Amino acid sequence: MKAGVSVGGLLAAGLVLVAVAGSFAYLELPLAGLFSGRVAGEAAGFAGRFFPPDLEPDFLARVGQAALETLAISLLSTLLAALAGAALALPAAGREGSKGCGARAVARFVLNLLRSIPELVWATLMVLAAGLGPFAGTLALALHTTGVLGRLFAEALENAPPGPAEALAGSGAPALVAFLYGTLPLVAPQWLSYALYRWEMNIRMAAILGFVGAGGLGALLYYSLSLFQETRAGTVILAMLAMTIAVDAASAWLRRMQG
Amino acid sequence: MSPELAVADGTRRVLRDPAALPRLGWTLVAVLLLWPLLQLARFRPAELFDPANLAAMGQFLSGFLPPETSPDFLTLLGRATVETLAMATAGVALAVLLAVPLGLLLTRSLSVASLGPGRGGCFGAGLRILARGLLAVLRGVPELVWALLFVRVFGLGAAAGVLALGITYGGMLGKVYGEILESADALPARSLLEAGSGRLAALCYGLLPNAARELVSYTVYRWECALRASVVMGFVGAGGLGQLMDQSMKMLNGGEAASILVTFLVLVLAADGLSEKLRRRMA
């Protein structure tokens, strides 16, 4: 490693500083105003209205129902995405029988398309296609996550050693069996860990998809804020926080189990 | 028919996967768990083919072609794109400001109190637990929720989005900075501290040389994520491309939506490529 600072490093640091300063200037952010006493007081007053959280039993039951719905959306969408992602990753990785270059390019294009459209945009489209409700949210998350997982799965497939599958295929096993017993055991732990990681992301997204009418906790938060029922909104935000922390813990535990 | 294997001595042995039974069992358990989930999420694929929904979607999609390309709209689109880029950059800058002190607080190898024998300071340990909790709350609430709240304090516009990004990403970056610094080799910093140097010097000459690349690489990756996040900030009124998209969707203007979607696609793929190139150069 070289001692001292290289010219390229200095140049890059300068460019980053210019970009940051330019961004703040373009957005005309009243930075000084943000840290002034008046705004701080206003923000504190606003935050104060969320306490104490509304713990009325009727409302708590609704929050619980919405939380379950959110959990179901995140789990189902991750599961669907893992299945579809695996199906698309096989041609995208260009292994296991799909020799055609065309199939590979098409699969990669589909994955990129699915991935680069954000979940929330998918959700607005799916609300049109499937009506308001959690089903639209599940589809939207599944579509975006398929793009992400498909790409990660394909990368894992490309990096897996081809030996076992080739040995099986060479001794006469059909392509499916060669994949199931030769390649899948090598990539399965990595695939599972990617899927768990996306589950952690999806519980966060599932909590907010309700903003555009796709079910779950987000819808409840949006209504309570629109009706200026801040104490109810406080309850929903606490529920979201609890859900994300619980899912993170569950995912970490599953990862450890899987070893 | 089970697969068979011809063995050299002429007999044929039936090959059976020894793990087949447990796998079947787990699959059954999974399917049983899946059923209530499907009910909860009201999973009804038939609704996709409901004539009313099909008609609404078809009408909207048929509007996609041709994409809107009038000069007025393109100027609007260009301005929103620059705004989105600026939001992501400013948000990550704020996040780094927030994350660096908290991340350093989490780093045990810079703790002077834990030098030498003995258990180390209780005060420092308590502070670390506090910082960890704060970071968990900051990143536990999704950025769109922060944005929705800030829009009510600061009004519609990019300021709410930038602050929301700063807070959520500050929480994520702080946690990961702490982890990276912890997993770096602690020996150089330790020996500097034991020889009597200050904490800043121990950080700059003991920890950073080993960890800097990883820190920068992760920050670049988060910038890429922030760009994707700021694309949708507009859905709650926090400026950028999302706001345009929200308006076009609400008016069911397919042509405008198509133009915006193409811009999303180009922007996200370009940021992806740029971030991957930068990180590969640093790796």
CA distance B145 to chain A (A): 7
pLDDT band with cut points at 50, 70 and 90 for residue B173: very high
Q: What is the pLDDT of residues A114-143, one digit of tens each?
A: 888 888 888 888 888 887 888 888 999 999
- Give the gap in angstroms from C-alpha A98 to the nearest C-alpha of chain B: 24
Contact indicator for B252, B59 with CB cutoff of 8 Å = yes
* The pLDDT value given to residue A80: 92
pLDDT confidence of residue B5: 55
Predicted confidence at residue B12, as pLDDT, reads 59
- In this prediction, residue B95 has a pLDDT band, given cuts at 50, 70 and 90, of very high
Confidence of residue B99 (pLDDT cuts 50, 70, 90): very high
Which of A117-131, A153-167, B69-83, B117-131 bottoms out in mean pLDDT, i.e. has the lowest? B117-131
Q: How confident is the model at residue B44 (pLDDT cuts 50, 70, 90)?
A: confident
Q: Do A27 and B44 touch (CB under 8 A)?
A: no
Question: Which of residues B86 and A216 earns the better pLDDT score?
Answer: B86
CATH of residue B266's domain is: 1.10.3720.10
Residue A131 and residue B83: Cβ atoms within 8 Å? no
How much is the pLDDT for B6? 53
Q: Per the CB < 8 Å rule, is B249 touching A124?
A: yes
The rounded distance, in Å, linking the Cα atoms of A116 and B83 is 19
What's the total number of domains in chain B?
A: 1
Q: Classify strands B12-14 and B4-6 as parallel, antiparallel or unpaired.
A: antiparallel
pLDDT for the residue A35: 66
pLDDT in tens, A20-54: 888 888 877 766 666 667 777 777 777 777 778 77
For residue B31, is it within any domain?
no
For residue B5, the cross-strand partners are: B13
- The DSSP 8-state label assigned to residue A12 in this structure reads H
| pLDDT tens digits, one per residue of B207-243 | 888 888 888 888 888 888 888 888 878 888 887 888 8
What is the nearest CA distance from B125 to chain A, expressed in angstroms?
22
Evaluate whether residue B43 is within a structural domain: no
Whether B112 has a pLDDT exceeding 60, the answer reads yes
pLDDT in tens, B192-204: 888 888 888 888 8
- Please give the class, per CATH, of domain A57-258: mainly alpha
Note whether B50 contacts A131, CB cutoff 8 Å: yes
Query: Which residues of chain B does A6 touch, with a Cβ-Cβ cutoff of 8 Å?
Result: none
pLDDT score for A149: 92
- Average pLDDT (B252-274) is 84
CB distance A22 to B86 below 8 Å: yes
pLDDT for the residue numbered A146: 94
User: What is the token pair recorded at A216?
Assistant: 């779950």
Question: Is residue B209 in some structural domain?
Answer: yes
Residues spanned by the domain of B139: 71-282
Contacts of A208 in chain B (CB under 8 A): 142, 144-145
Confirm whether B48 is domain-assigned. Answer: no
Residue B49 has pLDDT above 80, yes or no: no
Intervals of chain A under pLDDT 70 = 1-5, 30-36, 95-100, 259
pLDDT in tens, B13-42: 666 777 788 888 888 888 888 888 888 877
CB atoms within 10 A of CB B76: 16
Nearest residue in chain B measured CA to CA from A44? B153
Answer for the pair B37, A70: CB distance below 8 angstroms, yes or no.
no
Count of beta carbons in the 10 Å neighbourhood of residue B84? 30
Nearest by Cα to B236 from B148, B165, B150, B146: B148
pTM of the model: 0.79
